Amino acid sequence: MTTTFQTNLQLDAQTRAQLVDMLNMALAETSDLYFMTKQAHWNVRGPFFFARHELFDKVAGKRLGYIDALAERVGTLGGYAEGSLRWAAENTQLKAYDREAVSGTEHVRNLANRYASYCAHVRKWIEVASELDPATEDLLTEILRETELDLWFLESHVQG
């Protein structure tokens, strides 16, 4: 059950509840993607180790910033940010990370697949938000733009 806090925000309660539910799903997936990226950062081995280690840390850091932005948007809408790891694990739609990944190429491919799926989900959330709230749509659009850029960085490590 979503707890709602008092707000003077000029959106009706039903719209705010719909946005809060969607943003909590985004929060769950963004948290999951953050920890998958850190999993790669902590466990990468092989050629180009340092470059990939640093890349994974940089793109993970962006996800961490978006976790906070999504949770704060939920609060702004008068909702309760459901950001625990357990909630994220129960509600993410992303495929689980491959625990057998060790080489840099394996990690990059694993992450690229999950970043692509995440981007597809963000696009759907943008479609919903475009009908309800321009501020939420703008936040999600920023997240999509930066995540697609990071997907390009990841994919560039395995192409060629």
For residue range 141-154, list pLDDT tens digits in order: 999 999 999 999 99
Taking residues 26-47, what's their average pLDDT?
A: 96
- pTM attached to this predicted model: 0.94
Domains of the chain and any CATH numbers: 29-156 (1.20.1260.10)
Choose among 147, 124, 5: nearest CA to 74.
Answer: 5
pLDDT-derived band at 2, boundaries 50, 70, 90: low
Residue 159 pLDDT: 82
CA–CA separation, 66 and 62 (whole Å) = 6
How far are the Cα atoms of 75, 129, 146 from residue 124, in angstroms, in the given order? 22, 9, 16
In tens, the pLDDT along 61-108 reads: 999 999 999 999 999 999 999 999 999 999 999 999 999 998 999 999
Segment holding 65, helix H or strand E: helix 49-76
How far, in Å, CA of 151 to CA of 156, rounded? 8
pLDDT given for residue 43 in this prediction: 94
